Amino acid sequence: MLLIYGFVAPPLPVDDLTGVDGAPVEVVGSAPVAAVVSRHVEVPPTTEEHALAHARVVAALGERAPSLPGRYGIVLPDEPAVAAVLANATESLQTALARVGTAVEFAVRGRERVAVPPSPPRDGSGRAYLEARLAGERAREVAIAERHAAIAAASEPLRAFATEELWVEGPLGPEHCLLIRRDDVAAFRSAAASLDDDPVVRVTGPWPPYTFASVTLPHVESA
């Protein structure tokens, strides 16, 4: 079976790359869009180590050519199945590849997670419990709005460097993701350095453009 790492416009040399479980990485498919995969006898167990091995391959691809990161955990049974997916989604993959190119993403996010209010004790009345839960939820909504505003203010001067931007909900709360061309990374970092000491907001990156490649392709049965 084939574990997918991402999608590229071939040809692209990947002979020097190893992926999950040290498996060699190869390109399956032909122009205009191909998949980057590794072969496995069984579905590799899902571990942090494997997820990070996957991330390393994705990052290496982005440094070589326009590529779209695949989400970790996509396994297709064989090359015909890969070919079927590629044939059915050539246009959308090409469009996404042209849009993202070799750009990277940075994220402006909070330094810490937006606080989740503790659950109220269940030893009081039902009404008191529900009122406490409601108050907690309202407090969290206010905290999220404040975080969002802080991020928006901090990222405003950085938006000029971005070719695209997206707001997403990340593990620590809202994130403002900015797609930055590689040629503009140095200037972006210089501008972002003004946030070094910001007590609330942090800028992370560069990452492969995962957020801007959040595309769902239709699955098709291979012949």
Partner 1 sequence: MSELQPAPRPETVGTAESDETTLVDVLDRVIDRGVVISGDVILGVAGVDLIYLGVRLVLHGIDPPELP
Q: Name which of residues 165 to 194 contact partner 1 (CB under 8 A).
A: 168, 170-172, 182-183, 185-186, 189, 192-193
What are the backbone angles phi and psi of residue 95, rounded to the nearest 5°? Answer: -60, -45
51 interacts with partner 1 by CB under 8 A:
yes
The three-state secondary structure class of 26 is: strand
Confirm or reject binding of residue 48 to partner 1 (CB under 8 A). Answer: yes
Residue located via tokens 């990452």:
207
Question: What minimum distance in Å lies between the beta carbon of 173 and partner 1?
Answer: 11
What whole-number distance in Å separates Cα of residue 178 and Cα of residue 154? 13
In the region spanning residues 83 to 112, those forming contacts with partner 1, defined by CB under 8 A, are 85, 93, 96, 102, 104, 106-107, 111-112
CA angle, residues 189, 192, 198, in degrees to nearest 5:
145
Verify binding: residue 16, partner 1, rule CB under 8 A.
no
Q: What is the DSSP letter of 123?
A: T
Q: Is 45 in the site for partner 1 (CB under 8 A)?
A: yes
Footprint of partner 1 on 113-152 (CB under 8 A):
113, 115-116, 119
Closest CA to 142 of 168, 112, 185, 173: 173
> Which of 30, 32, 52, 78 lies at the binding interface for partner 1 (CB under 8 A)?
52
Q: How far is CA 82 from CA 95, 174, 205, in A?
A: 19, 34, 31
Q: Which is nearer to partner 1, 48 or 123 (CB)?
A: 48
58 near partner 1 (CB under 8 A): yes
